[in-house]
Structures are given as C-alpha cells and as structure tokens.
Amino acid sequence: MKYIGSVDNIRLAQAFVDYANTIQLNCSYEYDEDNATYIIQLADVEKLELADSIFEEFSLDPTNDKYWMSSWHSNKTSDSLTNYWYAGRSRFSLSSILDISGIITSTVALACVFLFVIESYFSQSFINNLFIVNKGETLNLSEPWRLITPSFLHFDFYQLIINITIWVIFAGQIERKHSSWKLLNLFLVSAIISNLVQFNTMEYFGGIAGVVYAVIAYSWLSGKITPSGNLNLDNSLFIFYLVWLVCCYFGIFGLQNTTPMLISGLITGLLMALVQKEDIKKPL
C-alpha cells in the first residue's frame, strides 16, 4: 500500500476513497490514532501519479458534489458515520480529549467544572462577584471581568455536562484546525455579547450556552465559505441546534429565559466566521 495523503474527517476520507474507486483507483483508508487522522492509501503503485493528482484536486474542493455522490451511490455514507463513533475508541478517554482539544478549549472547560464543584464551598459574596452585577447595582465597567465570568457559572449538573461536551467537540475543532487565537477571540467576543444581551432580561444568570452557539455557528458557516479550512458541520446537525433554539424560545423545555443568550451567540458566531474567512489555514 502506498501513502496518498491524510484527512482528519472520516466522511472526507470515505468520500475520496469512493470517488477514487469509481475511476479504478483501488484506495482505502485507516485511522491513525497517534495523529488523529485518516490515512488514505493506494493498492496499485503504478497509478500513484494519477492518485496524487486526484488527491490534490480533492484537497482544493473536498465538498464538491462529485465526491459525495460517489459515496451515495456506493451506499457507504451511513457506514462511515457508524465507523466514526467506533474507530479509535481511545480518542474518547479524558486524556485524549484534552490532548486534541487545545489549551483554550481545555482551560475553559476545566474552569466551568472547577467553579461548579467549588460553588458550595465559597461564600455567596464570592459568587456574586462573578455575576455581571451585584443585586440592585448597575453595570460597572470598572470591573470588566464581570462581562465574561457569568459564562463559567453553571447551576445545574445536566446543563454543565451538555454545554461542556458540545464546547469541547466544536471549540476543540476550531482550535486545532484554525488557531488558539481565533478560538480565544471567538470566546471573548461571544461571551461578552451574549452576557450583555442576557443582562437585559435578568441580573443573575450563568452558563456557556451563548458561547456554545457561537462556536456551532462559526463551525457551520466557516465550513461552507472556506471548505479547505477543515471545519465540517453537517447541515442536519446545524438544523437540529436551530430547532432546539426554537423550542427554547417557545418554552417547550422550560428554557425560554436562555433564548436571548443563544440567539446572540448564534449571530456572533456567524459574523465572526464572515470576518475571519480570509485568514483561515488553507491546507487540508
């Protein structure tokens, strides 16, 4: 087997292999646990030059319909999604998640968990200093940390687990594939905006949900406008989060008061993807 290239998304690997096989290139892929990538290999060494040329073309436009139609016709799409969850199971250990997520992703996640655990051990006055304002006071810009710290506060275990899980998945992708600076910038801007918007409806609130919707929106739109930036969020998954937002708006899950934070995070993420689209790493 001859090495052709590698990608870090199993659906991209499957799409290329299926397309290559339609033009008589006997290719396959396997998961590389050390580098968290999918290695594409060629069985027929005599066709290496052609395979390299095809992969180079694929790298420039990996979301081209011709690649995905090959998977559709070969009926491999569902298989690749299933394999995604089972290939390299060691990826889902705590240590491996921290390894692939990056310093910003890990720091934010651990800060949320740390504050949730120790909330009961600190006085209420300490916790009050993390809210955007103290009770009965107006917004004080001389304490700028208050614009950010509410995002680290969680008051429900399930809210914490859901938010942190989504954060690690999507923020980790942004940090690894774009940069830590871009993720930090996205976190700070979306945290400040979503907290200020939420402040107009209530004084005491917490949670990283607004930031989570920002990284979801950023991942989705960035993948659409710059496919070579390596962020690939399925339309179906993005629609699911939009449906969840609508459900929150109508109070179906009793989360209506979080709607302003979620909407502002969503809009912020979309705008940040547009602003930063020209400064994204190009290689696949």
Level-2 CATH architecture, domain 2-89: 2-Layer Sandwich (3.30)
Instruction: Look up residue 114 and give its two tokens.
Output: 């740390």
Sign of the torsion angle spanned by Cα atoms 263, 265, 266, 267: positive
Q: What is the pLDDT along the chain (284 residues), one digit of tens a residue?
A: 788 898 877 777 888 888 888 888 888 888 887 777 888 999 888 888 899 999 998 888 877 777 766 655 554 443 444 344 334 434 444 555 555 678 999 999 999 999 888 876 766 666 777 776 665 667 777 778 888 988 998 888 888 999 999 999 899 889 888 889 999 999 999 999 998 888 887 766 788 999 999 999 999 998 888 766 667 788 888 999 999 899 888 877 666 678 888 999 999 999 999 987 655 443 33
Q: Which pLDDT does position 187 carry in this prediction?
A: 96
Sign of the torsion angle spanned by Cα atoms 173, 177, 180, 184: negative
Instruction: Look up residue 241 and give its two tokens.
Output: 């989060």
Ordered by start, the domain boundaries in the chain are: 2-89, 93-279
The string of DSSP letters for 108-174 reads HHHHHHHHHHHGGGS-HHHHHTTSSS-TTPPP-TTSGGGGTGGGG--S-HHHHHHHHHHHHHHHHHH
* Residues linked to residue 37 through DSSP beta bridges, in sequence order: 32
Q: Which residue, 37, 7, 156, 190, is CA-closest to 100? A: 37
SS3 251: coil
Q: Which pLDDT does position 228 carry in this prediction?
A: 62
CB 257 within 8 A of CB 232: no
Q: Which pLDDT does position 47 carry in this prediction?
A: 87
The pTM for the full model equals 0.65
Q: CATH number of 93-279: 1.20.1540.10, 2.60.120.620, 1.10.357.10, 3.40.720.10?
A: 1.20.1540.10
Q: Angle at CA 26, nearest 5°, toward 24 and 233?
A: 100
